[in-house]
Amino acid sequence: MVTQVVVVLDSIGALFFLISFVFAMKNYKHTKNISSYWLIYAIASFIAFLWAGLVALEWVGFFPEILDVVQQSIIASAATAFAIASLLTLLELVKPTGGSTKGKNSY
């Protein structure tokens, strides 16, 4: 029972990381001045999507020995990318300087 709950929750998490990736890529495409931030966030979201998917596969029983080793480096790289994006925001290294590429009222 616990295994099934973990697989479902990891699958839901993977889905939301994928949605986050799509959202970040749309923002990357539509923002001119802070596009590097959205690219880093998109990369981190995609890596987190891979990690959540691998955790779900591990709990299903798909090569658990290999996935346990692989997913540790994947979550470390996702955490690093999210930390870089957060640090850029915290230090205000990423600042919008005006308008986007689509018009004055679009974001």
User: What integer pLDDT is reported at residue 97 of this predicted model?
Assistant: 58
Q: What pLDDT score was predicted for residue 105?
A: 45
Q: Global pTM?
A: 0.75
CA atoms in the 13 A half-sphere facing the CB of 16: 6
| Average pLDDT per consecutive 10 residues, the chain (107 residues; last block may be shorter) | 89 96 92 81 91 91 87 88 83 62 49
